[in-house]
Structure 1
Amino acid sequence: MKLGIQKLKSKLDQLYLAYNRKQYVDPDPLLFLYNYPDVRDREIAGIIASGLAYGRVAMIMQAVSTVLEKMGPDLRGFVMNADPKNVSCMFQNFKYRFATGDHLSALIMGLRAVIDDYGSLGACFTEDQAGGADLSEGLARIRTRVLRAGDAGHLLADPLKASACKRSHLFLRWMVRKDQVDPGGWSNIPAEVLTCPVDAHMFKIGHLLGFTKRRSADGVCAAQITEGFRRISPDDPVKYDFCLTRFGIRDGLDMAELKRFLKDDTYHV
Protein backbone atom coordinates (compact mmCIF):
# COMPACT_ATOMS: atom_id res chain seq x y z
CA MET A 1 0.00 0.00 0.00
CA LYS A 2 1.37 3.41 -0.98
CA LEU A 3 2.22 5.89 1.75
CA GLY A 4 -0.53 8.24 0.53
CA ILE A 5 -3.17 5.52 0.74
CA GLN A 6 -1.98 4.57 4.22
CA LYS A 7 -2.40 8.16 5.38
CA LEU A 8 -5.88 8.39 3.93
CA LYS A 9 -6.89 5.01 5.35
CA SER A 10 -5.78 6.15 8.79
CA LYS A 11 -7.97 9.24 8.58
CA LEU A 12 -10.96 7.32 7.24
CA ASP A 13 -10.61 4.73 9.98
CA GLN A 14 -10.67 7.53 12.55
CA LEU A 15 -13.93 8.81 11.06
CA TYR A 16 -15.36 5.29 10.96
CA LEU A 17 -14.61 4.68 14.63
CA ALA A 18 -16.04 8.06 15.62
CA TYR A 19 -19.20 8.24 13.52
CA ASN A 20 -20.16 4.77 12.33
CA ARG A 21 -22.52 4.41 15.29
CA LYS A 22 -26.28 4.12 15.66
CA GLN A 23 -26.43 7.39 17.53
CA TYR A 24 -25.64 9.14 14.23
CA VAL A 25 -28.27 7.35 12.11
CA ASP A 26 -31.20 9.68 12.79
CA PRO A 27 -32.18 11.28 10.45
CA ASP A 28 -31.64 8.55 7.87
CA PRO A 29 -34.23 6.16 6.38
CA LEU A 30 -31.95 3.31 7.46
CA LEU A 31 -33.43 3.92 10.91
CA PHE A 32 -36.65 2.13 9.90
CA LEU A 33 -34.88 -1.14 9.11
CA TYR A 34 -33.97 -1.63 12.76
CA ASN A 35 -37.64 -2.32 13.50
CA TYR A 36 -37.55 -5.59 11.52
CA PRO A 37 -35.43 -8.40 13.00
CA ASP A 38 -36.73 -10.84 10.36
CA VAL A 39 -34.76 -10.31 7.15
CA ARG A 40 -37.89 -11.12 5.12
CA ASP A 41 -39.55 -8.02 6.60
CA ARG A 42 -36.34 -5.97 6.56
CA GLU A 43 -35.77 -6.35 2.83
CA ILE A 44 -39.28 -5.05 2.17
CA ALA A 45 -38.75 -2.10 4.52
CA GLY A 46 -35.41 -1.47 2.83
CA ILE A 47 -36.68 -1.41 -0.72
CA ILE A 48 -39.53 0.93 0.22
CA ALA A 49 -37.32 3.24 2.30
CA SER A 50 -34.60 3.41 -0.36
CA GLY A 51 -37.17 3.94 -3.11
CA LEU A 52 -38.34 7.09 -1.34
CA ALA A 53 -34.83 8.23 -0.37
CA TYR A 54 -34.59 11.42 -2.43
CA GLY A 55 -35.21 15.03 -1.55
CA ARG A 56 -35.06 16.62 1.90
CA VAL A 57 -34.29 14.09 4.59
CA ALA A 58 -37.07 15.28 6.91
CA MET A 59 -39.63 14.72 4.15
CA ILE A 60 -38.13 11.32 3.32
CA MET A 61 -38.50 10.22 6.93
CA GLN A 62 -42.11 11.37 7.04
CA ALA A 63 -43.02 9.61 3.79
CA VAL A 64 -41.39 6.30 4.75
CA SER A 65 -42.95 6.42 8.21
CA THR A 66 -46.41 6.97 6.72
CA VAL A 67 -46.10 3.98 4.40
CA LEU A 68 -44.64 1.52 6.90
CA GLU A 69 -47.12 2.45 9.62
CA LYS A 70 -50.01 1.69 7.27
CA MET A 71 -48.47 -1.68 6.39
CA GLY A 72 -48.06 -2.70 10.03
CA PRO A 73 -45.26 -4.66 11.73
CA ASP A 74 -45.64 -7.81 9.59
CA LEU A 75 -44.49 -6.43 6.25
CA ARG A 76 -44.16 -9.78 4.53
CA GLY A 77 -47.61 -10.81 5.72
CA PHE A 78 -49.05 -7.51 4.47
CA VAL A 79 -47.42 -7.92 1.05
CA MET A 80 -48.38 -11.59 0.62
CA ASN A 81 -52.01 -10.87 1.52
CA ALA A 82 -52.18 -7.65 -0.47
CA ASP A 83 -55.26 -7.16 -2.60
CA PRO A 84 -54.87 -4.61 -5.42
CA LYS A 85 -58.11 -2.79 -4.64
CA ASN A 86 -57.50 -2.63 -0.90
CA VAL A 87 -53.91 -1.48 -1.32
CA SER A 88 -54.93 1.13 -3.85
CA CYS A 89 -57.61 2.44 -1.49
CA MET A 90 -55.18 2.47 1.46
CA PHE A 91 -52.63 4.62 -0.36
CA GLN A 92 -54.92 6.65 -2.61
CA ASN A 93 -54.00 9.89 -0.84
CA PHE A 94 -50.27 9.17 -0.66
CA LYS A 95 -48.04 11.67 -2.44
CA TYR A 96 -44.34 12.27 -2.10
CA ARG A 97 -42.78 14.46 -4.76
CA PHE A 98 -42.92 12.31 -7.94
CA ALA A 99 -44.31 9.24 -6.17
CA THR A 100 -48.07 8.73 -6.06
CA GLY A 101 -50.29 6.23 -4.31
CA ASP A 102 -50.65 4.37 -7.61
CA HIS A 103 -46.88 3.99 -7.89
CA LEU A 104 -46.64 2.75 -4.32
CA SER A 105 -49.50 0.30 -4.77
CA ALA A 106 -47.87 -1.06 -7.92
CA LEU A 107 -44.59 -1.50 -6.03
CA ILE A 108 -46.30 -3.46 -3.25
CA MET A 109 -48.12 -5.71 -5.69
CA GLY A 110 -44.86 -6.15 -7.60
CA LEU A 111 -43.06 -7.19 -4.42
CA ARG A 112 -45.76 -9.78 -3.87
CA ALA A 113 -45.11 -11.13 -7.36
CA VAL A 114 -41.36 -11.34 -6.68
CA ILE A 115 -41.89 -13.21 -3.42
CA ASP A 116 -44.45 -15.51 -5.05
CA ASP A 117 -41.91 -16.43 -7.73
CA TYR A 118 -38.68 -16.56 -5.71
CA GLY A 119 -39.60 -16.78 -2.02
CA SER A 120 -37.85 -13.51 -1.12
CA LEU A 121 -36.27 -10.43 -2.67
CA GLY A 122 -32.85 -11.76 -1.74
CA ALA A 123 -33.45 -15.02 -3.58
CA CYS A 124 -34.55 -13.09 -6.66
CA PHE A 125 -31.49 -10.88 -6.49
CA THR A 126 -29.01 -13.75 -6.30
CA GLU A 127 -30.60 -16.20 -8.76
CA ASP A 128 -27.98 -17.64 -11.13
CA GLN A 129 -25.25 -15.46 -9.62
CA ALA A 130 -22.01 -16.62 -8.11
CA GLY A 131 -22.08 -14.88 -4.75
CA GLY A 132 -24.23 -12.06 -6.08
CA ALA A 133 -21.31 -10.62 -8.04
CA ASP A 134 -23.41 -8.96 -10.77
CA LEU A 135 -25.31 -6.22 -8.98
CA SER A 136 -26.93 -4.81 -12.10
CA GLU A 137 -28.33 -8.18 -13.12
CA GLY A 138 -29.85 -8.81 -9.71
CA LEU A 139 -31.33 -5.33 -9.41
CA ALA A 140 -32.72 -5.54 -12.94
CA ARG A 141 -34.34 -8.90 -12.17
CA ILE A 142 -36.21 -7.48 -9.19
CA ARG A 143 -37.24 -4.37 -11.12
CA THR A 144 -38.42 -6.29 -14.16
CA ARG A 145 -40.62 -8.61 -12.10
CA VAL A 146 -42.06 -5.69 -10.10
CA LEU A 147 -42.92 -3.71 -13.23
CA ARG A 148 -44.82 -6.64 -14.72
CA ALA A 149 -47.33 -6.15 -11.92
CA GLY A 150 -47.82 -2.45 -12.61
CA ASP A 151 -46.22 0.96 -13.04
CA ALA A 152 -44.11 1.63 -9.95
CA GLY A 153 -42.76 4.76 -11.60
CA HIS A 154 -39.29 5.83 -10.54
CA LEU A 155 -39.40 3.99 -7.19
CA LEU A 156 -37.00 1.40 -8.61
CA ALA A 157 -34.15 2.76 -10.72
CA ASP A 158 -33.11 1.04 -13.94
CA PRO A 159 -29.61 -0.38 -13.27
CA LEU A 160 -28.99 -0.86 -16.98
CA LYS A 161 -29.05 2.88 -17.64
CA ALA A 162 -26.16 5.30 -17.11
CA SER A 163 -27.30 6.73 -13.78
CA ALA A 164 -25.53 6.09 -10.47
CA CYS A 165 -28.63 4.27 -9.10
CA LYS A 166 -27.87 5.76 -5.69
CA ARG A 167 -31.03 4.49 -4.02
CA SER A 168 -30.53 0.93 -5.29
CA HIS A 169 -26.94 0.79 -4.05
CA LEU A 170 -28.03 2.29 -0.75
CA PHE A 171 -30.52 -0.55 -0.39
CA LEU A 172 -27.81 -3.11 -1.13
CA ARG A 173 -25.46 -1.53 1.40
CA TRP A 174 -28.13 -1.86 4.08
CA MET A 175 -28.91 -5.47 3.21
CA VAL A 176 -25.38 -6.79 2.56
CA ARG A 177 -23.10 -5.04 5.07
CA LYS A 178 -23.38 -5.82 8.76
CA ASP A 179 -21.77 -3.66 11.42
CA GLN A 180 -22.90 -1.23 14.12
CA VAL A 181 -24.94 0.72 11.55
CA ASP A 182 -25.84 -1.49 8.59
CA PRO A 183 -28.11 -4.38 9.71
CA GLY A 184 -27.34 -6.79 6.85
CA GLY A 185 -29.35 -9.93 6.20
CA TRP A 186 -28.23 -10.99 2.74
CA SER A 187 -25.20 -12.85 4.03
CA ASN A 188 -24.53 -14.76 0.80
CA ILE A 189 -23.43 -11.60 -1.02
CA PRO A 190 -19.87 -10.37 -0.36
CA ALA A 191 -19.45 -6.73 0.65
CA GLU A 192 -16.51 -6.47 -1.75
CA VAL A 193 -18.85 -6.31 -4.79
CA LEU A 194 -20.90 -3.36 -3.53
CA THR A 195 -20.95 0.02 -5.25
CA CYS A 196 -20.94 3.32 -3.39
CA PRO A 197 -24.33 5.06 -3.26
CA VAL A 198 -23.32 8.40 -4.77
CA ASP A 199 -25.53 11.26 -3.57
CA ALA A 200 -24.61 14.95 -3.58
CA HIS A 201 -22.49 14.51 -0.45
CA MET A 202 -20.51 11.51 -1.71
CA PHE A 203 -20.10 13.24 -5.09
CA LYS A 204 -18.34 16.14 -3.35
CA ILE A 205 -16.27 13.77 -1.23
CA GLY A 206 -15.23 11.78 -4.30
CA HIS A 207 -13.89 14.99 -5.86
CA LEU A 208 -12.24 16.05 -2.63
CA LEU A 209 -10.32 12.77 -2.45
CA GLY A 210 -9.42 12.83 -6.13
CA PHE A 211 -11.34 9.62 -6.89
CA THR A 212 -13.29 11.20 -9.75
CA LYS A 213 -13.34 14.25 -12.00
CA ARG A 214 -16.78 13.59 -13.44
CA ARG A 215 -19.09 16.57 -13.73
CA SER A 216 -22.18 14.57 -12.86
CA ALA A 217 -22.96 11.78 -10.41
CA ASP A 218 -23.55 9.12 -13.03
CA GLY A 219 -22.74 5.42 -13.14
CA VAL A 220 -19.15 6.02 -14.26
CA CYS A 221 -18.68 8.42 -11.35
CA ALA A 222 -20.03 5.83 -8.90
CA ALA A 223 -17.66 3.21 -10.31
CA GLN A 224 -14.67 5.56 -10.03
CA ILE A 225 -15.46 6.53 -6.44
CA THR A 226 -15.99 2.89 -5.51
CA GLU A 227 -12.65 1.95 -7.08
CA GLY A 228 -10.95 4.70 -5.08
CA PHE A 229 -12.30 3.28 -1.83
CA ARG A 230 -11.53 -0.28 -2.98
CA ARG A 231 -7.83 0.56 -3.05
CA ILE A 232 -8.12 1.43 0.63
CA SER A 233 -10.57 -1.28 1.71
CA PRO A 234 -10.62 -4.07 -0.93
CA ASP A 235 -12.97 -6.33 1.02
CA ASP A 236 -15.44 -3.58 1.89
CA PRO A 237 -15.26 -0.54 -0.42
CA VAL A 238 -18.52 0.92 0.93
CA LYS A 239 -17.32 0.76 4.54
CA TYR A 240 -16.84 4.52 4.89
CA ASP A 241 -20.03 5.64 3.12
CA PHE A 242 -22.14 6.18 6.23
CA CYS A 243 -19.58 8.00 8.38
CA LEU A 244 -18.51 10.32 5.54
CA THR A 245 -22.03 11.28 4.51
CA ARG A 246 -22.94 12.33 8.06
CA PHE A 247 -21.15 15.56 7.21
CA GLY A 248 -23.64 17.87 5.58
CA ILE A 249 -26.62 15.88 6.88
CA ARG A 250 -26.27 15.85 10.66
CA ASP A 251 -26.51 19.10 12.58
CA GLY A 252 -23.06 20.06 13.83
CA LEU A 253 -21.23 18.07 11.16
CA ASP A 254 -20.61 20.23 8.10
CA MET A 255 -18.66 19.62 4.92
CA ALA A 256 -16.15 22.35 5.74
CA GLU A 257 -15.10 20.41 8.83
CA LEU A 258 -14.68 17.23 6.79
CA LYS A 259 -12.63 19.06 4.17
CA ARG A 260 -10.27 20.40 6.81
CA PHE A 261 -9.82 16.93 8.28
CA LEU A 262 -9.22 15.16 4.97
CA LYS A 263 -7.26 17.86 3.15
CA ASP A 264 -3.87 16.51 2.13
CA ASP A 265 -2.17 16.98 -1.24
CA THR A 266 0.02 13.90 -0.81
CA TYR A 267 -2.53 11.06 -0.87
CA HIS A 268 -1.91 10.12 -4.53
CA VAL A 269 -4.51 7.35 -4.27
Structure 2
Amino acid sequence: MSAGNAVLKPIDSLDLPSVSHSSERIFWEHIYSQYTRAEFIGTDPIIFPSTIEGNKEYISLVSSLFAYGRVNSIQDFLKKFFYRYGNDPFDTDNSEAKLYYRFQTAEDIRLLVTMIKGIYLQYGSVQNFFVNISDSLEKALEGFLDYARGFGAENNAGRGYFFLFPKYGKSGLKRLRMFLRWMVRKDDVDFGLWGAYKTGELLYPPDTHILRFAKNFGIISSEANSHRNARLITDYFKTIDKQDPVKYDFAITRLGMLNSCKFKRSVSCEVCGLKNGCLFN
Protein backbone atom coordinates (compact mmCIF):
# COMPACT_ATOMS: atom_id res chain seq x y z
CA MET A 1 0.00 0.00 0.00
CA SER A 2 1.48 3.33 -1.00
CA ALA A 3 1.79 6.38 1.18
CA GLY A 4 -0.84 8.23 -0.82
CA ASN A 5 -0.93 11.92 -0.01
CA ALA A 6 0.84 11.63 3.34
CA VAL A 7 3.05 14.57 4.20
CA LEU A 8 6.65 13.69 4.97
CA LYS A 9 7.67 15.14 8.31
CA PRO A 10 11.28 15.33 9.48
CA ILE A 11 12.03 12.71 12.08
CA ASP A 12 13.41 13.92 15.40
CA SER A 13 17.14 13.45 15.76
CA LEU A 14 18.59 10.71 17.89
CA ASP A 15 22.22 10.80 18.97
CA LEU A 16 23.50 7.44 20.19
CA PRO A 17 27.14 6.99 21.13
CA SER A 18 27.43 3.56 19.55
CA VAL A 19 25.27 0.67 18.40
CA SER A 20 24.81 -1.98 21.08
CA HIS A 21 21.94 -4.18 22.17
CA SER A 22 20.74 -1.54 24.64
CA SER A 23 21.03 1.22 22.05
CA GLU A 24 19.07 -0.94 19.61
CA ARG A 25 16.15 -0.88 22.02
CA ILE A 26 16.50 2.89 22.44
CA PHE A 27 16.47 3.25 18.66
CA TRP A 28 13.35 1.13 18.18
CA GLU A 29 11.51 2.83 21.02
CA HIS A 30 12.34 6.17 19.45
CA ILE A 31 11.02 5.01 16.06
CA TYR A 32 7.90 3.66 17.77
CA SER A 33 7.20 6.98 19.49
CA GLN A 34 7.82 8.89 16.25
CA TYR A 35 5.54 6.91 13.95
CA THR A 36 2.99 4.90 15.91
CA ARG A 37 0.50 7.73 15.85
CA ALA A 38 -3.04 8.07 14.61
CA GLU A 39 -1.94 10.83 12.22
CA PHE A 40 -0.18 8.21 10.08
CA ILE A 41 -2.99 5.65 9.71
CA GLY A 42 -3.88 7.15 6.34
CA THR A 43 -0.75 5.48 4.94
CA ASP A 44 -1.84 2.00 6.06
CA PRO A 45 -4.70 -0.46 5.41
CA ILE A 46 -5.86 0.12 9.00
CA ILE A 47 -7.38 3.35 7.70
CA PHE A 48 -10.30 1.31 6.35
CA PRO A 49 -11.56 -0.27 9.61
CA SER A 50 -10.62 2.98 11.39
CA THR A 51 -13.02 5.03 9.28
CA ILE A 52 -15.79 2.62 8.20
CA GLU A 53 -18.65 2.41 10.69
CA GLY A 54 -19.98 -0.97 11.84
CA ASN A 55 -18.70 -4.17 13.42
CA LYS A 56 -15.00 -3.32 13.68
CA GLU A 57 -13.80 -6.92 13.91
CA TYR A 58 -15.71 -7.90 10.78
CA ILE A 59 -14.68 -4.77 8.88
CA SER A 60 -11.06 -5.34 9.93
CA LEU A 61 -11.06 -8.94 8.73
CA VAL A 62 -12.52 -8.10 5.33
CA SER A 63 -10.27 -5.04 4.94
CA SER A 64 -7.15 -7.05 5.73
CA LEU A 65 -8.04 -9.89 3.37
CA PHE A 66 -8.33 -7.48 0.44
CA ALA A 67 -5.34 -5.30 1.40
CA TYR A 68 -3.31 -6.02 -1.70
CA GLY A 69 -2.89 -3.87 -4.79
CA ARG A 70 -3.13 -0.10 -5.16
CA VAL A 71 -4.60 1.81 -2.24
CA ASN A 72 -7.19 3.57 -4.42
CA SER A 73 -8.36 0.23 -5.84
CA ILE A 74 -8.64 -1.30 -2.36
CA GLN A 75 -10.59 1.68 -1.06
CA ASP A 76 -12.93 1.70 -4.05
CA PHE A 77 -13.62 -2.01 -3.70
CA LEU A 78 -14.22 -1.88 0.08
CA LYS A 79 -16.70 0.97 -0.30
CA LYS A 80 -18.64 -1.11 -2.80
CA PHE A 81 -18.29 -4.25 -0.68
CA PHE A 82 -19.71 -2.77 2.52
CA TYR A 83 -22.41 -0.89 0.60
CA ARG A 84 -23.50 -4.13 -1.09
CA TYR A 85 -23.02 -6.64 1.73
CA GLY A 86 -23.37 -4.38 4.76
CA ASN A 87 -21.13 -3.86 7.77
CA ASP A 88 -23.03 -6.13 10.17
CA PRO A 89 -21.97 -9.78 9.77
CA PHE A 90 -25.17 -10.99 11.46
CA ASP A 91 -27.33 -9.24 8.90
CA THR A 92 -25.30 -9.72 5.74
CA ASP A 93 -27.06 -10.25 2.43
CA ASN A 94 -24.94 -13.03 0.92
CA SER A 95 -26.95 -13.47 -2.25
CA GLU A 96 -25.13 -13.30 -5.56
CA ALA A 97 -23.75 -9.88 -6.50
CA LYS A 98 -21.77 -8.65 -9.48
CA LEU A 99 -18.85 -7.47 -7.36
CA TYR A 100 -15.29 -8.63 -7.93
CA TYR A 101 -11.75 -7.58 -7.01
CA ARG A 102 -8.65 -8.52 -8.97
CA PHE A 103 -8.24 -12.29 -8.39
CA GLN A 104 -11.63 -12.72 -6.67
CA THR A 105 -14.73 -13.34 -8.78
CA ALA A 106 -18.22 -12.41 -7.67
CA GLU A 107 -18.78 -16.02 -6.58
CA ASP A 108 -15.52 -16.06 -4.60
CA ILE A 109 -16.65 -12.98 -2.70
CA ARG A 110 -20.13 -14.36 -2.09
CA LEU A 111 -18.65 -17.56 -0.66
CA LEU A 112 -16.33 -15.51 1.55
CA VAL A 113 -19.28 -13.57 2.96
CA THR A 114 -21.23 -16.80 3.50
CA MET A 115 -18.29 -18.39 5.33
CA ILE A 116 -17.72 -15.41 7.62
CA LYS A 117 -21.43 -14.99 8.33
CA GLY A 118 -21.61 -18.64 9.36
CA ILE A 119 -18.82 -18.10 11.90
CA TYR A 120 -20.61 -15.14 13.43
CA LEU A 121 -23.96 -16.91 13.60
CA GLN A 122 -22.43 -19.94 15.33
CA TYR A 123 -19.77 -18.35 17.54
CA GLY A 124 -20.72 -14.70 17.87
CA SER A 125 -17.33 -13.36 16.80
CA VAL A 126 -14.12 -14.36 15.02
CA GLN A 127 -12.31 -14.19 18.35
CA ASN A 128 -14.71 -16.74 19.84
CA PHE A 129 -14.12 -18.98 16.84
CA PHE A 130 -10.36 -18.76 17.31
CA VAL A 131 -10.66 -19.54 21.03
CA ASN A 132 -12.91 -22.52 20.23
CA ILE A 133 -10.09 -23.87 18.05
CA SER A 134 -7.23 -23.30 20.48
CA ASP A 135 -5.93 -21.05 23.24
CA SER A 136 -2.70 -20.86 21.21
CA LEU A 137 -2.95 -18.05 18.67
CA GLU A 138 -0.81 -19.84 16.05
CA LYS A 139 -2.79 -23.07 16.34
CA ALA A 140 -6.03 -21.10 16.17
CA LEU A 141 -4.82 -19.30 13.04
CA GLU A 142 -3.92 -22.62 11.45
CA GLY A 143 -7.34 -24.01 12.33
CA PHE A 144 -9.06 -20.94 10.94
CA LEU A 145 -7.22 -21.34 7.64
CA ASP A 146 -8.06 -25.04 7.52
CA TYR A 147 -11.72 -24.21 8.11
CA ALA A 148 -11.80 -21.47 5.46
CA ARG A 149 -10.06 -23.66 2.90
CA GLY A 150 -12.29 -26.60 3.72
CA PHE A 151 -15.37 -24.44 3.26
CA GLY A 152 -14.03 -23.35 -0.11
CA ALA A 153 -13.34 -26.92 -1.19
CA GLU A 154 -16.85 -28.04 -0.20
CA ASN A 155 -18.38 -25.22 -2.23
CA ASN A 156 -16.15 -25.48 -5.31
CA ALA A 157 -14.53 -22.10 -4.68
CA GLY A 158 -12.29 -20.59 -7.32
CA ARG A 159 -8.60 -19.77 -7.11
CA GLY A 160 -9.40 -16.22 -6.01
CA TYR A 161 -11.07 -17.49 -2.83
CA PHE A 162 -8.10 -19.66 -1.92
CA PHE A 163 -5.74 -16.75 -2.60
CA LEU A 164 -7.27 -15.10 0.47
CA PHE A 165 -6.49 -18.13 2.64
CA PRO A 166 -3.03 -19.61 1.94
CA LYS A 167 -2.05 -22.87 3.58
CA TYR A 168 -0.56 -22.34 7.01
CA GLY A 169 3.24 -22.46 6.89
CA LYS A 170 3.43 -21.92 3.13
CA SER A 171 3.78 -18.13 3.37
CA GLY A 172 4.21 -15.37 5.91
CA LEU A 173 0.43 -14.71 5.90
CA LYS A 174 1.05 -10.97 5.83
CA ARG A 175 -2.58 -9.85 5.60
CA LEU A 176 -3.94 -12.17 8.29
CA ARG A 177 -1.04 -11.40 10.63
CA MET A 178 -1.78 -7.73 10.11
CA PHE A 179 -5.40 -8.41 11.11
CA LEU A 180 -4.25 -10.23 14.25
CA ARG A 181 -1.98 -7.34 15.17
CA TRP A 182 -4.92 -4.96 14.88
CA MET A 183 -7.06 -7.22 17.08
CA VAL A 184 -4.58 -8.21 19.82
CA ARG A 185 -2.45 -5.08 20.28
CA LYS A 186 -3.73 -1.79 21.67
CA ASP A 187 -2.14 1.62 21.12
CA ASP A 188 -2.81 4.79 19.11
CA VAL A 189 -2.97 2.69 15.93
CA ASP A 190 -4.06 -0.87 16.80
CA PHE A 191 -7.56 -1.58 18.15
CA GLY A 192 -6.91 -4.22 20.83
CA LEU A 193 -10.39 -5.75 20.54
CA TRP A 194 -9.30 -9.25 21.51
CA GLY A 195 -8.46 -10.08 25.09
CA ALA A 196 -8.07 -13.83 24.70
CA TYR A 197 -4.50 -13.77 23.34
CA LYS A 198 -1.31 -12.06 24.43
CA THR A 199 0.76 -9.69 22.32
CA GLY A 200 3.78 -11.95 22.80
CA GLU A 201 2.07 -14.58 20.62
CA LEU A 202 1.96 -12.38 17.53
CA LEU A 203 4.31 -12.86 14.58
CA TYR A 204 5.44 -10.09 12.24
CA PRO A 205 3.45 -9.52 9.05
CA PRO A 206 6.24 -9.76 6.43
CA ASP A 207 5.66 -6.45 4.68
CA THR A 208 8.10 -5.34 1.97
CA HIS A 209 9.73 -2.80 4.31
CA ILE A 210 9.95 -5.28 7.19
CA LEU A 211 11.61 -7.85 4.94
CA ARG A 212 14.04 -5.28 3.52
CA PHE A 213 15.02 -4.16 6.99
CA ALA A 214 15.50 -7.72 8.23
CA LYS A 215 17.56 -8.73 5.20
CA ASN A 216 19.84 -5.68 5.37
CA PHE A 217 20.20 -6.04 9.14
CA GLY A 218 21.27 -9.69 8.80
CA ILE A 219 18.24 -11.25 10.49
CA ILE A 220 17.11 -13.17 7.39
CA SER A 221 19.01 -14.34 4.32
CA SER A 222 16.34 -13.51 1.72
CA GLU A 223 13.33 -11.22 1.42
CA ALA A 224 10.94 -14.13 0.92
CA ASN A 225 7.43 -13.73 2.30
CA SER A 226 7.79 -16.93 4.30
CA HIS A 227 6.64 -18.35 7.61
CA ARG A 228 10.28 -18.88 8.59
CA ASN A 229 11.17 -15.25 7.98
CA ALA A 230 8.16 -14.06 9.97
CA ARG A 231 9.40 -16.14 12.89
CA LEU A 232 13.03 -15.03 12.58
CA ILE A 233 12.05 -11.36 12.52
CA THR A 234 9.79 -11.85 15.53
CA ASP A 235 12.53 -13.71 17.40
CA TYR A 236 14.87 -10.76 16.91
CA PHE A 237 12.32 -8.31 18.28
CA LYS A 238 11.64 -10.57 21.24
CA THR A 239 15.17 -9.70 22.33
CA ILE A 240 14.03 -6.07 22.28
CA ASP A 241 10.57 -6.52 23.86
CA LYS A 242 9.64 -10.08 24.75
CA GLN A 243 6.10 -9.23 25.78
CA ASP A 244 5.20 -7.17 22.71
CA PRO A 245 7.68 -7.79 19.87
CA VAL A 246 5.33 -6.74 17.06
CA LYS A 247 4.83 -3.24 18.51
CA TYR A 248 7.46 -1.87 16.08
CA ASP A 249 5.80 -3.20 12.91
CA PHE A 250 3.79 -0.10 11.99
CA ALA A 251 6.68 2.24 12.81
CA ILE A 252 9.26 0.36 10.74
CA THR A 253 6.96 0.36 7.74
CA ARG A 254 6.39 4.12 8.13
CA LEU A 255 10.16 4.62 8.40
CA GLY A 256 10.53 3.00 4.99
CA MET A 257 7.52 4.67 3.39
CA LEU A 258 7.68 8.18 4.80
CA ASN A 259 11.36 8.61 5.59
CA SER A 260 12.61 6.78 2.46
CA CYS A 261 14.76 4.55 4.64
CA LYS A 262 16.57 1.78 2.76
CA PHE A 263 17.70 0.18 6.03
CA LYS A 264 21.28 0.54 4.85
CA ARG A 265 23.57 3.45 4.07
CA SER A 266 22.16 5.46 1.15
CA VAL A 267 21.73 9.02 -0.09
CA SER A 268 18.59 9.28 2.06
CA CYS A 269 20.80 9.15 5.16
CA GLU A 270 22.15 12.63 4.53
CA VAL A 271 18.82 14.30 5.28
CA CYS A 272 17.69 11.90 8.01
CA GLY A 273 17.60 13.09 11.62
CA LEU A 274 18.62 9.62 12.79
CA LYS A 275 21.96 9.45 11.02
CA ASN A 276 24.03 10.02 14.18
CA GLY A 277 22.43 7.13 16.01
CA CYS A 278 21.19 4.95 13.20
CA LEU A 279 21.47 1.17 13.30
CA PHE A 280 21.99 0.99 9.54
CA ASN A 281 25.02 3.25 8.94
State TM-score, norm by structure 2: 0.79
User: Would the alpha carbon gap of residues 61 and 8 (structure 1) be closer, same or farther in structure 2, given more than 3 Å must change?
Assistant: farther
Work out the CA distance in 1 between the residues paired with 2:228 and 2:280: 24
Letter in 2 for 1:203: L
Would you say how many aligned residue pairs link Structure 1 and Structure 2? 251
> Aligned runs of 1:1-269 on 2, under 5 Å?
4-35=20-51, 41-72=55-86, 74-79=87-92, 82-84=93-95, 88-89=96-97, 92=98, 94-130=99-135, 132=137, 134-144=139-149, 146-147=151-152, 148=154, 151=157, 153-154=161-162, 156-250=164-258, 253-256=259-262, 260=269, 261=274, 263-264=278-279
In 1, the alpha carbon distance for the partners of 2:254 and 2:204 equals 15
Structure-1 separation of matches of 2:104 and 2:150: 19
Amino acid at match of 1:182: D
Where 1:25 maps in the other structure, the secondary structure is helix
Structure 2 letter corresponding to 1:53: A
Matches of 2:52 and 2:71, distance apart in 1: 21
Task: State the Cα deviation string for residues 139-165 of structure 1 (Å, max 9, x = none).
Answer: 325524653556261353234242111
Rounded to whole Å, the distance in 2 between the matches of 1:150 and 1:190 is: 36
Partner amino acid, structure 2, of 1:193: E
| RMSD, aligned CA | 2.6
The answer on whether the counterparts of 1:113 and 1:146 sit within 8 Å (CA) in structure 2 is no
User: What corresponds to 2:9 in structure 1?
Assistant: none
Q: In the TM superposition, what whole-angstrom CA distance separates every residue of 1:54-89 from its partner, at most 9, and x where no partner exists?
A: 1223322222232123334x422433xx343xxx12
Partner-residue secondary structure (3-state), 1:246: helix
**Does the aligned pair in 2 maintain the 1:175–1:182 contact within 8 Å?**
yes
Name the aligned partner's letter for residue 264 of structure 1: L
Could you tell me whether the CA contact under 8 Å between 2:217 and 2:280 is conserved in 1?
no
Rounded to whole Å, the distance in 2 between the matches of 1:109 and 1:182 is: 27
Is the partner of 1:99 in helix, strand or coil? coil
Q: Tell me how far 1:36 sits from its aligned partner.
A: 6.4
- Superposed CA offset, 1:99-158 (max 9, x none): 222211111011111122222111111114235353543432552465355626135323
Report the Cα distance in structure 2 between the residues aligned to 1:37 and 1:63, rounded to whole angstroms. Answer: 16
Moved segments of 4+, more than 6 Å: none
Change (3 A) 1:145 1:190: farther
Deviations 1:231-257 (A, max 9, x none): 11111111000011113434xx31248
Q: Counterpart of 1:181 in 2: which secondary structure?
A: coil
Q: Quick one: distance in 2 between partners of 1:27 and 1:70? A: 25
Q: Which has the larger radius of gyration?
A: 2
Whose RCO is larger (CA < 8 A, sep 6+)? 2
Q: Normalising by structure 1, report the TM-score.
A: 0.82
Cα distance in 2 for partners of 1:199, 1:15 equals 17
Tell me, in whole angstroms, the C-alpha distance in 1 between the residues paired with 2:44 and 2:247: 17
Identity %: 25
Structure 1 unaligned blocks of 5 or more: none
Partners of 1:124 and 1:118 lie apart in 2 by: 6
Q: Which consecutive unaligned segments of at least 5 residues does structure 2 have?
A: 1-18
Give the whole-Å Cα distance in 1 for the aligned partners of 2:161 and 2:138: 27
The AA in structure 1 aligned to 2:130 is F
Relative to 1, partners in 2 of residues 1:78 and 1:231: Cα closer, same or farther, differing over 3 Å?
Answer: same
